[in-house]
Amino acid sequence: MNRTSATAEEPFSILEADGKAGRDKDPNLTPELLKRLYEVMVTTRVLDERALALQRQGRIGFYLQALGQEASHVGAAAALRDSDWLFPAYRQPGIPLLRRVPLDDIVNEWFGNDGDICKGRQMPVHYSFRQANFVSISSPIGTQISHAAGAGMAARIRGDDTVFMAFFGDGGTSSNDFHCGLNFAGVFKAPVVFVCENNQWAISVPLAQQTASASIAITASSYGMPGVRVDGNDVLAVYRVCKEAVERARKGEGPTLVETVTYRMASHSSSDDAARYRDAKIHDEWKERDPIARFQRYLHKKKLWTEDWELEIHERARHEIHEAVKRAEALPRPSLDSLFEGVFMNLTPQLVEQRAELLALKGPESEELGHFPL
Partner 1 sequence: MTTMTLLEAVTDALRTEMRNDDRVVVFGEDVGRKGGVFLATQGLQDEFGAERCFDTPLSECGIVGTAIGMALYGIRPVAEIQFLDFIYPAFDQIVSEAAKMRYRSGGEYTCPLVIRSPYGGGIRGGHYHSQSSEAYFCHTPGLKVVIPSTPADTKGLLIAAIRDEDPVIFLEPKRIYRTAKGDVPEGEHVVPLGKGRVVREGTDVTVVAYGAMVAICEKAADEAQKRGRSIEIIDPRTLVPLDEPLILESVKKTGRCVVVFEAPRTCSYGSEIAAIVAEKAIGHLEGPVVRVGGFDTPFPYSLEHLYMPDVRRVLLGIEKTFNW
Least distance in Å: CB of 143 to partner 1? Answer: 5
Least distance in Å: CB of 22 to partner 1? Answer: 37
Query: In whole angstroms, what is the distance from residue 135 CA to residue 318 CA?
Result: 27
Least distance in Å: CB of 121 to partner 1? Answer: 5
Least distance in Å: CB of 256 to partner 1? Answer: 17
Residues that bind partner 1 (CB under 8 A): 85, 87, 116-119, 121-122, 126, 128-130, 135-136, 138, 140, 143, 145-155, 157-158, 162, 176-177, 179-181, 183-184, 187, 341-345, 348-350
Residue placing its CB nearer to partner 1 in the complex, 119 or 240: 119
Least distance in Å: CB of 84 to partner 1? Answer: 12
Residue placing its CB nearer to partner 1 in the complex, 7 or 354: 354
Query: In whole angstroms, what is the distance from residue 294 CA to residue 301 CA?
Result: 11
Residue placing its CB nearer to partner 1 in the complex, 129 or 239: 129
Active-site residue (options: 59, 121, 179, 277): 277
Active-site residue (options: 264, 289, 294, 298): 264
Based on the residue annotation, tell me whether 264 is a catalytic residue of this protein.
yes
Residue placing its CB nearer to partner 1 in the complex, 58 or 342: 342
Residue placing its CB nearer to partner 1 in the complex, 181 or 291: 181
Based on the residue annotation, tell me whether 63 is a catalytic residue of this protein.
no
Least distance in Å: CB of 34 to partner 1? Answer: 32
CB of 145 within 8 A of CB of 177?
yes
Active-site residue (options: 50, 91, 126, 268): 268
Based on the residue annotation, tell me whether 268 is a catalytic residue of this protein.
yes
Amino acid type, 209? Q
Residue placing its CB nearer to partner 1 in the complex, 185 or 216: 185
* Active-site annotation, residues: 264, 268, 277
